[in-house]
């Protein structure tokens, strides 16, 4: 049986966001155990010209909620992008996972050729459904999740590859 658009999107996104949530919990616990102000991690970035941790999480969640909504033909929910604490980031992840869990396969399957347009940084981008998902959203999602992981790992949080991958017995 071929892999469907739904299978390639919603479950992948939920798992990745769940793994990111677990990583953020480890970072918050690390900060408490080492008596480090959590703001040190929240404000951290890998390079001076890169975005800090909250924007990495915000962009990852924006991309996947937008993808599912656009492929299903429903309105994309808007979030304020004001998270500046671990609890705020956790709330955003939970809200996004809850939104994604509301989709059924029949809402997204068959969207391979669906036209998708969006504006990013003042540019209009146009795709068909499959390349939008496979060539744009999935790589962008994992770029931002990986960057969030890298920020925390670089700053001493004891996380590793198995934290990024999550439970492998699924």
Look at 11-25, 52-66, 83-97, 154-168 and tell me which has the smallest mean pLDDT: 154-168
Give the pLDDT band of residue 1 (cuts 50, 70, 90). low
Residue 75 lies in a domain: yes
Residue 5 lies in a domain: no
pLDDT for 135 beyond 90: yes
Residue 170 lies in a domain: no
- Residue 2 is predicted with a pLDDT of 84
Report the predicted TM-score, pTM, of the whole model to 2 decimal places.
0.95
Q: With contact defined as beta carbons under 8 Å apart, do 132 and 70 qualify? A: yes
- Residue 63 is predicted with a pLDDT of 98
**Rounded (5°) CA angle 139-104-10:** 15
Residue 3 lies in a domain: no
Count of structural domains within the chain: 1
CATH number of the domain residue 117 falls in = 1.20.120.450
Residue 51 lies in a domain: yes
Give the pLDDT band of residue 22 (cuts 50, 70, 90). very high
- Residue 121 is predicted with a pLDDT of 87
Domain of 30 in residue numbering reads as 10-165
Residue 32 lies in a domain: yes
Mean pLDDT (the chain) is: 96
pLDDT for 16 beyond 70: yes
Give the pLDDT band of residue 141 (cuts 50, 70, 90). very high
pLDDT for 139 beyond 70: yes
Using CB atoms within 10 Å of the CB of residue 78, give its burial: 0 to 12 exposed, 13 to 18 middle, 19+ buried: exposed
What SS3 class is residue 127?
Answer: strand
pLDDT in tens, 78-115: 999 999 999 999 999 999 999 999 999 999 999 999 99
Residue 2 lies in a domain: no
Residue 4 lies in a domain: no
């Amino acid at each position: 049986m071929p892999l469907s658009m739904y299978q390639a999107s919603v479950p992948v996104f939920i798992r990745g966001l769940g793994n990111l949530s677990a990583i953020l919990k480890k970072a918050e616990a690390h900060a408490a155990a080492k008596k480090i102000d959590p703001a040190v991690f929240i404000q951290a970035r890998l390079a001076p010209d890169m975005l800090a941790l909250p924007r990495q999480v915000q962009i990852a969640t924006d991309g996947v909620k937008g993808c599912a909504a656009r492929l299903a033909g429903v309105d994309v929910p808007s979030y304020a992008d004001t998270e500046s604490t671990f609890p705020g980031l956790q709330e955003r992840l939970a809200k996004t996972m809850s939104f994604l869990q509301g989709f059924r396969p029949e809402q997204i399957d068959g969207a391979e050729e669906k036209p998708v347009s969006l504006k990013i940084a003042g540019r209009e981008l146009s795709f068909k459904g499959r390349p939008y998902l496979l060539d744009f959203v999935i790589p962008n999602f994992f770029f931002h999740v990986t960057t969030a992981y890298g920020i925390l790992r670089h700053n001493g949080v004891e996380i590793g590859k198995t934290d990024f991958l999550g439970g492998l017995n699924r």
